[in-house]
Amino acid sequence: MVSGMDVSHDRVDLVIVGGGMVGVALACALAPTGLSIRILESRDGSPQSLIDALPELSAEGFDPRVSALTCASQQFLTHVGAWSRMQAARICPYTDMSVWDGRGRGAIQFSAAELHEPCLGHIVENRVTLAALYAAMQEIDTIRFQPGAKIKSVSPPDTQGIRTLRLAGGESLSTALLVGADGAHSRIRAMTGMGATEWDYGHHAIVTTIETELPHRSTCWQRFTEDGPLALLPLADPSERKLSIVWSTSPSHARELMALDENAFCAELGHTFEYRLGQVLSCDTRHLHPLRQRHAQRYVQAGLALVGDAAHTIHPLAGQGVNLGLLDAAALAEVLIDARDRGEAPGDERVLRRYQRMRRADNLQTAAAMEGFRRLFDDLPAPIRLLRSSGMSLVNRLAPVKQHLMLMAMGLRGEVPRLARRP
């Protein structure tokens, strides 16, 4: 080997940077194209290590990171071969949702029975979803997963539209299409000059698993307080007393809550939740996450696309973040499959703009709706609070409006990518 030269140089059709749920789901969805795919993941550890560890991890407790997966996400995960594996591990369908104004009398009750559906969605631990996707991925010969990959640079596209990535170990990798699926702090977005608009929500989220005195009854609960929303999400526990919480509140209040011991935190949580499930008996280790909204100014360039949190992040109050990312993956896979059938190059910017048209406006609309909803529940003057509560109660009585909202939230209405549509 000559000193100073690359350790190796490979050429693949598609490189996905980020081995999380969205990146791996995209790779699995593209299996029919026959494209050679490399997934670069910065963290160490093989996919098999998570698959092997999952039973023991599940026996020890619940992953504090969970997602409220919609019917559209369920359909896409079924399409890529992950859903049956998730069912065999641990998922929790929820049939009802109870939302109320903590500073008024307004409340909305959603029920799957009103739609003649078996459930509104599923609460699933992120590691369960990821392990299932890893297992599906390992059955596809055209995908190679590379852990511990640190990217040093990304070149602009050459005259043939090829980009070259250089890794910390000296390896270089050329590809016709680079996909950034590397999260909110995406290095791919930064390295390629894909600007993003972002701002601080003024909220921090406390996430943990709790046990309550009364069973959750397969219901998601959300109370809007003057400081932010508090959500309790049911988990697949035989006693139905385990729930995951996402408590979004001001940074100062979040720090105060994090400083409490377990008993004091449980008491404060029970009080804030108005004891809807009785006393909070215990909680696991608490995790604190600052909340920021980000949106890439564009999702694509020649030979480059952003998906998931690399393209957008939103407030977790409606649990739509992962679902939007999976819809990005479904849309991009649809575009690339159709491009292959037409004989078009996957990195052609005209091809990638179809994906951007499918997803950017929808993601912006969802982000704007979440921001408007969040501001609606700020500490507002009493007359506006009264109108807010009255409006919630009115919607609760208008069955067609409520059913439309439920169907949209479930991904059963609106422009849904083909791979995520129910047959």
The mean pLDDT of 401-405, rounded to a whole number, is: 78
The mean pLDDT of 299-325, rounded to a whole number, is: 88
Grade residue 388 by pLDDT with cuts at 50, 70 and 90: low
And the tokens for 8? 């190796």
pLDDT value of residue 4? 45
Q: Is the pLDDT of residue 3 over 60?
A: no
HSE-CB of 161 using CA atoms within 13 angstroms: 18
The mean pLDDT of 81-108, rounded to a whole number, is: 91
Task: Name the H helices within 68-150.
Answer: 71-79, 83-89, 126-137
pLDDT tens readout for residues 167-205: 998 999 999 999 999 999 999 999 999 989 888 878 899
pLDDT value of residue 5? 46
Interatomic CA distance for residues 21 and 41, integer angstroms = 12
Q: Interhelix angle for 321-342 vs 349-376, to 10°? A: 160
Higher confidence at residue 279 or residue 2?
A: 279
The mean pLDDT of 97-102, rounded to a whole number, is: 86
Grade residue 384 by pLDDT with cuts at 50, 70 and 90: low
CB contact at 8 A, 185 and 173: no
Helix (H, G, I), strand (E, B) or coil at 264: helix
The mean pLDDT of 122-151, rounded to a whole number, is: 97
Is residue 88 domain-resident? yes
Q: Of 92-96, 214-218, 319-323, 370-374, where does mean pLDDT reach its minimum? A: 370-374
Helix (H, G, I), strand (E, B) or coil at 48: helix
Is residue 103 domain-resident? no
The mean pLDDT of 358-371, rounded to a whole number, is: 79
Interatomic CA distance for residues 357 and 299, integer angstroms = 9
Amino acid 380 reads L
Residues in the chain: 423
- Cβ–Cβ contacts within 10 Å for residue 142, how many? 17
Phi and psi of 250, rounded to 5°?
A: -65, 150
Q: Of 154-163, 194-203, 226-235, 402-411, where does mean pLDDT reach its minimum? A: 402-411
Is residue 70 domain-resident? yes
Query: How far, rounded to the nearest angstrom, does the alpha carbon of residue 119 sit from its chain's CA centroid?
Result: 19
Interatomic CA distance for residues 24 and 272, integer angstroms = 38
For 371, residues 6+ apart whose C-beta sits below 8 A from its C-beta are 293, 315
Q: Is 202 left (phi over 0), alpha (psi -120 to 50) or beta?
A: left
Q: Is the pLDDT of residue 398 over 80?
A: no
Sign of the dihedral through C-alpha 47, 48, 51, 57: negative
CB contact at 8 A, 136 and 129: no
HSE-CB of 188 using CA atoms within 13 angstroms: 31
pLDDT value of residue 392? 66
And the tokens for 178? 């680079």
pLDDT value of residue 341? 95
Grade residue 381 by pLDDT with cuts at 50, 70 and 90: low
Is residue 151 domain-resident? yes
Interatomic CA distance for residues 419 and 83, integer angstroms = 14
Q: Is the pLDDT of residue 260 over 90?
A: yes
Is residue 242 domain-resident? no
Q: Is the pLDDT of residue 370 over 70?
A: no
Higher confidence at residue 393 or residue 79?
A: 79
pLDDT value of residue 377? 53
pLDDT value of residue 72? 96
pLDDT tens readout for residues 50-90: 999 999 999 999 999 999 999 999 999 999 999 999 999 99
CATH number where 366 lies: 3.50.50.60
Task: Name the H helices within 177-261.
Answer: 187-191, 251-259
pTM of the model: 0.92
Interatomic CA distance for residues 157 and 165, integer angstroms = 11
Is residue 107 domain-resident? no
CB contact at 8 A, 41 and 325: no
Grade residue 407 by pLDDT with cuts at 50, 70 and 90: confident
Higher confidence at residue 1 or residue 266?
A: 266
Full domain range(s) for residue 88? 9-94+119-198+292-379+414-420
pLDDT value of residue 365? 79
Mean pLDDT of the chain: 90
Is residue 110 domain-resident? no
Interatomic CA distance for residues 67 and 129, integer angstroms = 9
pLDDT value of residue 354? 98
Per DSSP bridges, beta strands 172-180 and 9-17 are parallel
Is residue 216 domain-resident? no
Q: Please tell me the total count of domains within the chain.
A: 1
pLDDT value of residue 368? 65
